[in-house]
Structure 1
Amino acid sequence: MIAFRIALRVLRRDRRTRTSAILMGAGVAVATGLMLLLVSLPGAAQARVDRAAWQELGAADFVENGDEAAMSLMVVEDHYDDRTITRIDVAAHGDPSAIELPPGVERFPAPGEVLMSPALRRLSGDLPASELADRFPGEVVGTLGTEALTHPDQLAVLVGHTPSELENVALPVNGFAEAGTVWNPTLDLLAGVGVVVLMIPSLVLVASASRLTAARREQRLAALRLAGATPRQVVAAVAGENAIAAVGGALLGWAVSPLARWAASHVEWEGGTWQASDFVTSPALTLAVVVTVPLLVLAAAVVGTWRVVRSPWGAARSERPRRPHWLRLLALPVAGTVFFVLLRNMSSQLGLLLLLGAMGLVVASWIVIGPYLTATFGALFSRVWRKPSMLMAGRRLRHDPKGAFRSSAGVVLAVFTGSMALTVLPSLESLAGSSSPFRDSVLYVYADSKAAVVAERTDAALARYGVEQRAERIAAVELRTDGVGQEAFVVECDSAARLFRVDMGRACEEPGIAVTDSPELVEGVAVSNFEDPDVDLPEGVPVHVIDSESSRGTIPPLIDPSALPAGLETEPSIVAVSVTPETADVVHTALAGAASGLKVESVPAMIASQQAQLDDLRRVTVIGLLAAALLSGCSAAITTAGSVMDRRRTFGALLAAGTPVRLLGRALRTEAAMPALVATVGAGATGVVVGGGLAGLFTQSLPVVTPWVLAPVVLGALTALIAASVCVPALKRVSNEPLSDD
């Protein structure tokens, strides 16, 4: 209680200590609110995945050892106007009531029944049936609840069939996948990266706030120690002084954390926002964060009193701290080695957690290296430059490198994060595109044995809708040479020109085989329909070399039906329809309704899906960078201002001796900005290397490095310069206060 009363008296009497406490409380509040949000990210990601687990075909309860399946299940993605529709087709093999339903699914649909999500039901009701609703033939008998949807606006539909309708196209399963059996590695990785790269700047902000007026506090505590106070009393005084601001800030951060969660729930991912309940943390985890943050502040403050407890006379005389050792440079290669070893062996959620921890070590290694680099460049300034401002800045960087680098730590972390993200994104963007041989204006379905039925139904629907286009049937065969097989499409020449990315040229004048590579590839080749024995191609079949209009993938050989060997029977396996922008939605509906759940594919749909994922990544990257830049800028500004306040007596003496404020301001800006300018380059390079490693999780090629990776370095430098400008107002305030206050 005595220590607490002393702390209250200091706060009442000392205006600078009171200002420091207010700033510390604000920093702790921001850090607490943000960390409560960050620790909820992994749980929010898993909650989103758990709700949609039943929509995952790969995690369903598959039958084993030839047992009788309870149902057939097929899950495909459909599209309307660049929006993804998750379609689940099911057929019960016995009593539907014996099948356990996922939360939010009110009934198992009988054949001809449909359950839609509220968003899809509204959308289909606002459009002509020929554009959307007829894709899901049947009567809408219910609505999927929010417990069954990834987000409130998800477009999802559950369609019931007879077992024969899904025969040979759906998988036999015993039931839907349950919550907890599915995890999204991309979403988990992003959530983990967000926790790592934003929590550390948050802790830096807390540390920066707790270091305000540190020198003045040390002198006051040293005086108490020399006056006879015991080490325990000194520590208690420090704890009491910081506990008021830390606990108050933590409670304020907890109070405003619902606003942060509400804002986070409006960030779109995979086509929709989040449910508010996704970001709710357990009471135990919330209590742990609210208690841990103030404890970290108190621990940092108590550790900072070690010099006072050990040597109060040295603290009172402000002894120069020891210069960092060169062994600090080993922190980065050690952390990098651990990161890449774990990266090469990541195969589970535990491996992902370890990888994120290793990435945190890489980030933290720059905090270890930074003071040594700061001292090195300070010594360089002192030897090379002779301007008074540079000499003063060099002396500060050399004599107190830890304090000088402290303001740069948050900026360095933000630069690392940005460089890493801007290395991963271009590498992912390089994968965007389609290797499909079909043209952009073609919708197609791989229907296999049901292709003929699908084509007939599609033609009937198109005639009913008054659309002139008709379905075209494509058969797949195998060309085999010396035991090596190659898929080829059997299609008439005119249809090939409409459907595929090729220029048929003069190939239609003499029907035969059209290839986009050397004609030797088909000379002396046998052909097979995958079921009957191989049959040699007739001699003299014309082979035409045609031009491909696609830069991605390969175009399979195209065989005119008249060029096939006599007696070789082929059945269509692909149904394709060439569309125009005006008829695209109607043709899509006709094809989807006829395909009974088979996926309707097109090049624009593939690209739209890829672009949606890239847009999600860009969005969260921008939000993360803005948050990291804001946190780092605040911590840098607070640390810079605290540095001026800690050296108030020194600056006051220099001003009294006639040193111009402009000269001191230039020296302060140099010592505040130079460590950041140097360290951001190294952090940017490290971010590129780490980002290249993360990009390897998605691509097998070398990472794509663009000039945009320099943007975080430039942004970090500007942030450091802006934060360094805080020292000038603080210096002017020092010049207006009498030295007798100290």
Structure 2
Amino acid sequence: MAGRTLGALRTLPGLSWRLLRGGGRRSMLGAALTAVAVAVSTALLLFAVSVNLAFQGRSDREAWRNPVPARGEAVAVQAVRTDHVREERITVVELAALTPDAPVPPGLERFPAPGEVWLSPALAELAHRLPDDQLAARFAGKGGGTVGDEGLVHPGELVAVRGWAPDAAVLAGRDGRDGRETDGPREGVAPTRISDFTGKPSFDAQGYQALALIATVLMVVPLLVFGGAAARLTVARRDQRLAALRLVGATGGQVVAMTAAEAMITASAGAVAGALLYGLLIPLLTRIEIGGGPWFAADLWPGLPYALAVPATVPLLVGLSAVAGLRRVVVSPLGVARRETPPAMRFVRVVALLAVLAAVPALSAGAGAGVIAGVLGLAFLAINLAGPWVVGVIGRVTVRLARGPARLLAGRRLVDDPRAAWRTVSGVALTGFVAGFMLLLSPTSDLLGEADSTRLRITVPAERAGELAGEARERLAAAGVRARTEVAGEGRERTLVVALGTGTAAGDAREAGDAEGAGSAREAGGGEGAGSAGDGARADGGTAPARPDAAQADRARTALDGLVPGRSATSAADEDRFGLTLIEDIGTGTVVVLTVSFLVATVSAGITAVSSVLDRRQTYALLHLAGTPLRLLDRARRAETLIPLTVMGGGSIAVGVFCALPFAITGVNARGLAILLACVVLGFAGVIGAGAASAPVLRSVTENPAPCPD
């Protein structure tokens, strides 16, 4: 007996394939829909995994520029500062070897010798393109070579690595910055004795990784829901077939095994197609600019383990999801065969959603990324759990308020099978949650205001302030830059301020001839560091100066380079640039997340709409044969989708806004409203388009009411 059972089980995959093929053209169409759904899910899941790995890779490649002090014998001295050109940031790494066996920095072929300058490809190209007095003169020295990909965060990054002797002034004491503690190379790193180039992740890199984790949850949870729905496509027809097998003697275990085999055969083909599709999309995805630039192709390739694990895992999940819905077939096959309406779902589904929402007010903007991601994931799952119950309620209300046959048919379908109706609109509803969440998390550049870019500032020692101010005037005059210099601030360090576009070289010399030792500028007033004289440059006679162009600013930066070893001339606009980049990146991330969500929603709506028609093809055919106009059936089908979509879409948006309240960056702004409006319009358009795409299938199934060989 055991041998016969084992033999039967061995033939189940083959039997599943024979039944799938024997179901006819429409059965194969249902399988193809499942394969397409799995392909899309696999490709987007690979993208979500790769994004997190890509940010980790960027963090690892940047870490060497954020050195940690040597714990044993030091082999080199390293300092990092930030320069700017054409409103882009340049990372300048200053290095000196302390021992002959100093390790090679990442991206370099050897340790840079004193006087050598290594440039990243993007910086070398820019230095060649711009006049020397705007950029190249800052990095005069022996050509060392090119900084390779291993030392760069992204392909377009501007990086210079310069070699020095150990006793160079740029690497002496704290001359690498103004003494402030920083979290990474964005603000500069003081000269540090190191034992290797391991470094540590910067605060900025950790922030981007946290944002990537949150974005991943916003993308992956709808994907998992979509993948689970893919296993339930054409479920009614499959349940009918399995129930018939169960009634003729198949055991519950055999039915479960056949279901898993059928689902995994189809899903495996889709998973392979999805992996290939993602590989083809990598060159296009690398053009998405985040963190100041595009991506290396290697960043978005997840590596062989993940490239194999994801396509292998998705079919398993699809198989488990398909098996999870077999309780009625195994326990009550006669009820399935007679098409009895399943018991109504319980209110406990909504209780789970309310419990998650009750925990949201306890969160704060300082909560960790893991906590935020966890709450968002639970909210997604709770919405997906409560969705079918709410759809059932909507169906009962629709039946009571129906004033025509189309609404009545739609309401009855919602009551009879709320899960199927929810699968059609779940993608758009979950996208509404994402849009609502982003409504309060979409800052604009107005948040930072317009920073002053007309005044360059350098921190200088107080005892040399006058001397350095005079040298700055001479350098600027020699470069042909019209500017006025002044010294501001008090204490051991002062701020040398260069107001571009004002004054003349001779006038500046007369005005500041005895400036040495001055505690504050005659015209700038008191204030701390660069900010004291930073806002609102004043021209002679009280009129506002003309705004200098980028070329003039870059000539001034080049002229002032090296005035104080290890320090660069910066403006308030330079210091705000990272904030502006972050705001732009949040906007880009929002677009990417919503694009993925809409892709999932549109594909989900289209596939489930066609699948729903195939599931009910006999019902549609018999209604049409009894005299129901095809136009009426089509209106009922559209109402069955649009009514729950309107309610559930609005509810999901409200839940998303509520979940975003603890982390709100700003109030509602035009950008957030535009995103929300676009989501509403595109969501309805996608569902309506999906319904239109399934109309030919509806006409096809009503043409021949004869039973199909399922």
The answer to whether 1:588 aligns with 2:557 is yes
Structure-2 residue corresponding to 1:174: 193
2:369 to 329, 347, 352: 352
1:121 to 1:488, Cα distance in 2 relative to 1, 3 A:
closer
The answer to whether 1:20 aligns with 2:39 is no
Counterpart contact for 1:443–1:601, Cα < 8 Å: yes
1:724 to 1:44, Cα distance in 2 relative to 1, 3 A:
same
Write the distance in 2 (CA, Å) between the matches of 1:388 and 1:554: 75
1:554 to 1:670, Cα distance in 2 relative to 1, 3 A:
farther
Structure-2 residue corresponding to 1:432: 448
Deviations 1:492-518 (A, max 9, x none): xx989969xxxxxxxxxxxxxxxxxxx
Structure-2 residue corresponding to 1:6: 15
Write the distance in 2 (CA, Å) between the matches of 1:158 and 1:489: 27
Structure-2 residue corresponding to 1:458: 472
Structure-2 residue corresponding to 1:725: 692
Structure-2 residue corresponding to 1:82: 87
Greater CA drift, 650-659 or 272-281 = 272-281
* Sequence identity (%): 35
1:180 to 1:46, Cα distance in 2 relative to 1, 3 A:
farther
Write the distance in 2 (CA, Å) between the matches of 1:106 and 1:87: 18
| TM superposition shift of 1:227 | 0.8
| TM superposition shift of 1:614 | 2.9
The answer to whether 1:391 aligns with 2:408 is yes
Structure-1 residue corresponding to 2:68: 61
| TM superposition shift of 1:431 | 2.7
Q: Which runs of 5+ in 1 are unaligned?
A: 479-486, 500-527, 531-541, 547-552, 561-575
Structure-1 residue corresponding to 2:606: 637
Counterpart contact for 2:13–2:261, Cα < 8 Å: yes
Question: What are the equivalent positions in structure 2 for 1:144-155 lying under 5 Å apart?
Answer: 144-155=147-158
Question: What are the equivalent positions in structure 2 for 1:250-399 lying under 5 Å apart?
Answer: 250-338=271-359, 341=362, 343=364, 346=367, 351-399=368-416
Question: What are the equivalent positions in structure 2 for 1:154-233 lying under 5 Å apart?
Answer: 154-161=157-164, 162-166=167-171, 167-170=173-176, 171-175=190-194, 178=198, 181-182=201-202, 184-233=205-254
Q: Report SS of the residue matched to 2:227.
A: helix
Question: What are the equivalent positions in structure 2 for 1:606-617 lying under 5 Å apart?
Answer: 606=575, 608-617=577-586
1:50 to 44, 49, 60: 60
Aligned partner letter, 2:453: D
Aligned partner letter, 1:28: V
Structure-2 residue corresponding to 1:668: 637
Aligned partner letter, 1:653: L
Q: Report SS of the residue matched to 1:9.
A: helix
Greater CA drift, 161-170 or 361-370 = 161-170
Counterpart contact for 1:234–1:309, Cα < 8 Å: yes
Q: Report SS of the residue matched to 2:249.
A: coil
Structure-1 residue corresponding to 2:568: 599
| TM superposition shift of 1:179 | 5.7
Greater CA drift, 296-305 or 100-109 = 100-109
Write the distance in 2 (CA, Å) between the matches of 1:397 and 1:29: 29
1:464 to 1:140, Cα distance in 2 relative to 1, 3 A:
farther
Q: Which runs of 5+ in 2 are unaligned?
A: 1-9, 177-189, 504-517, 539-544
Q: Report SS of the residue matched to 1:200.
A: helix
1:53 to 1:543, Cα distance in 2 relative to 1, 3 A:
closer
Write the distance in 2 (CA, Å) between the matches of 1:152 and 1:635: 36
Write the distance in 2 (CA, Å) between the matches of 1:345 and 1:466: 49
Q: Report SS of the residue matched to 1:61.
A: coil
| TM superposition shift of 1:149 | 0.7
Counterpart contact for 1:238–1:301, Cα < 8 Å: yes
1:80 to 1:555, Cα distance in 2 relative to 1, 3 A:
closer
Write the distance in 2 (CA, Å) between the matches of 1:250 and 1:68: 52
1:707 to 1:468, Cα distance in 2 relative to 1, 3 A:
closer
1:294 to 1:441, Cα distance in 2 relative to 1, 3 A:
same
Q: Report SS of the residue matched to 1:405.
A: helix
| TM superposition shift of 1:411 | 0.9
Aligned partner letter, 1:4: P
Counterpart contact for 1:343–1:355, Cα < 8 Å: no
Write the distance in 2 (CA, Å) between the matches of 1:556 and 1:214: 68
Write the distance in 2 (CA, Å) between the matches of 1:613 and 1:408: 33
Structure-1 residue corresponding to 2:619: 650
Deviations 1:409-447 (A, max 9, x none): 111122222332343122x5443235x6xx432222223
Aligned partner letter, 2:426: A
Counterpart contact for 1:489–1:557, Cα < 8 Å: no
Counterpart contact for 2:38–2:227, Cα < 8 Å: yes
| TM superposition shift of 1:87 | 1.7
Write the distance in 2 (CA, Å) between the matches of 1:490 and 1:85: 21
Counterpart contact for 1:47–1:278, Cα < 8 Å: yes
Counterpart contact for 2:65–2:199, Cα < 8 Å: no
1:82 to 1:578, Cα distance in 2 relative to 1, 3 A:
closer
Write the distance in 2 (CA, Å) between the matches of 1:641 and 1:732: 12
Counterpart contact for 1:201–1:628, Cα < 8 Å: yes
Write the distance in 1 (CA, Å) between the matches of 2:214 and 2:276: 25
Write the distance in 1 (CA, Å) between the matches of 2:523 and 2:86: 41
Q: CA RMSD in A?
A: 3.6
Aligned partner letter, 1:83: E
2:105 to 78, 102, 105: 102
Q: Report SS of the residue matched to 2:295.
A: coil
Q: Report SS of the residue matched to 1:44.
A: helix
| TM superposition shift of 1:232 | 1.9
Greater CA drift, 204-213 or 659-668 = 204-213
Structure-2 residue corresponding to 1:127: 130
1:151 to 1:498, Cα distance in 2 relative to 1, 3 A:
same
Aligned partner letter, 1:690: C
Aligned partner letter, 1:442: R
1:641 to 1:75, Cα distance in 2 relative to 1, 3 A:
same
Question: What are the equivalent positions in structure 2 for 1:541-552 lying under 5 Å apart?
Answer: none
Q: Report SS of the residue matched to 1:474.
A: strand
Structure-1 residue corresponding to 2:486: 473
Write the distance in 2 (CA, Å) between the matches of 1:463 and 1:489: 20
Counterpart contact for 2:20–2:27, Cα < 8 Å: yes
Write the distance in 2 (CA, Å) between the matches of 1:577 and 1:26: 59
Structure-2 residue corresponding to 1:514: none
Structure-2 residue corresponding to 1:114: 117
1:106 to 1:488, Cα distance in 2 relative to 1, 3 A:
closer
Deviations 1:29-52 (A, max 9, x none): 221222122212211111111111
Report the count of equivalent residues. Answer: 652
Write the distance in 2 (CA, Å) between the matches of 1:188 and 1:172: 27
Aligned partner letter, 2:456: L
Counterpart contact for 1:393–1:671, Cα < 8 Å: yes
1:245 to 1:361, Cα distance in 2 relative to 1, 3 A:
same
Aligned partner letter, 1:300: S
| TM superposition shift of 1:129 | 1.4
| TM superposition shift of 1:293 | 0.6
1:181 to 1:624, Cα distance in 2 relative to 1, 3 A:
closer
Counterpart contact for 2:524–2:532, Cα < 8 Å: no
| TM superposition shift of 1:307 | 0.9
1:417 to 431, 434, 439: 434
Counterpart contact for 1:680–1:717, Cα < 8 Å: no
Write the distance in 2 (CA, Å) between the matches of 1:119 and 1:621: 28
Aligned partner letter, 1:477: E
Counterpart contact for 1:208–1:638, Cα < 8 Å: no
Counterpart contact for 1:72–1:163, Cα < 8 Å: no
Counterpart contact for 1:87–1:597, Cα < 8 Å: no
The answer to whether 1:443 aligns with 2:456 is yes
